[in-house]
Amino acid sequence: MARPIVADLPLTTLRLSQDGPVLTVRIDAPPHDYMTAAMQQDFLDLVRAVDADGTVRAVVVTGAGPGRYLAHYDIGDLLVAAEAAPLLPRPAARLLLGAVRAVTAAGGERLIDRSRLSGILAITRFHELVTRLLRSRVIWIAAIDGPCGGGGLEMSVCFDIRVAADTASFLLPELSIGLTTTVGAQRLVHLMGPARALRMMLEARAWSAAEAQDAGLVERVLPAGDVVVEAQAMAARYARRSPTAVAAQKRIINTAYDVGLRAGLTEEGVAQMTNVPTARTRASLRTWLSMQSADGASVFRTDPEPWADGTAVAETSLTTARDAV
């Protein structure tokens, strides 16, 4: 029997184990499981390998241990990208995003990665990742056993099914620091409806698993000790279906959504490119980092209230930032 393709992946932030046709992926980026460029690349390599590996029919993605899953993008990395990126009007940002896509498609990713445009590469890489997830031939199940926020939530809504521990939490904090979603807004609207999706973003507070289920964000809520085992059992059942029929059914279901996917991702990418480099956003990112505890825990967990109510960044700082734009 041929060795599974996924077995040879050189991943740094993901741990893999396979039981028959079910692949379990454990996100392992201690101590706080922030999303990073390296993790994005690991997931992208994984999706490519899974779709080329006939031994895998279903994938369960979870955290490396109890109470862990995937947090938002590393704020320190975002600030580095914000300070390096040029401040552009929307038409120029749209053209530049298209150019970066073209260069990377032609094999020029390393060239972009060594330039001031590396932050845009993170956007296009994320776009490719979620596009491949949505078009994947296999079933992807998120077993959410801990905090799920920002980019981690945006990626998770692009899986086919989400089950959550009753102790899990869900957060979209982007608007509280002057950012927008990078990949997840369209899918969130698809799952939750536009009003609920926008309200979740505007509130910028952690939603409980029960709230997430009520909003359509997750399908099932389970006791914390059961979520991974149940997700694996679901994956094993679904893996018994005809892989050809499953792939075809997924294409049928996603056809209407897929028609506008590229255009929607472009809008999200342009919004990020025009918001991230602004003085106001940079001031918010610096404030966030200044509030971070010595152990590097997310401020959205240790001191979330000022961000949810909009008082984290002093108005004088925002006025100065507006004047600098």
- Identify the segments of the chain with pLDDT beneath 70: 1-4, 256-257, 259, 315-325
Question: Residue 111 — φ and ψ, nearest 5°?
Answer: -60, -45
pLDDT of 86 reads 83
Domains and CATH numbers, the chain: 5-324 (3.90.226.10)
Assign 3-class secondary structure to 148-179: EEHHHHHHHCCCCEEEEECCCEEECCHHHHCC
pLDDT of 316 reads 43
pLDDT of 121 reads 86
Among 58, 238, 250, 67, which residue's Cα sits nearest to residue 164?
67
Among 14, 307, 270, 3, which residue's Cα sits nearest to residue 171?
307
Q: How far apart are CA 154 and CA 53, in angstroms?
A: 25
| Contact predicate 241/218, CB 8 Å | no
Q: How far apart are CA 17 and CA 279, in angstroms?
A: 44
Question: Residue 278 — φ and ψ, nearest 5°?
Answer: -70, 155
Tens digits of residue pLDDT in 184-236: 888 999 999 999 999 999 999 999 999 999 999 999 999 999 999 999 999 99
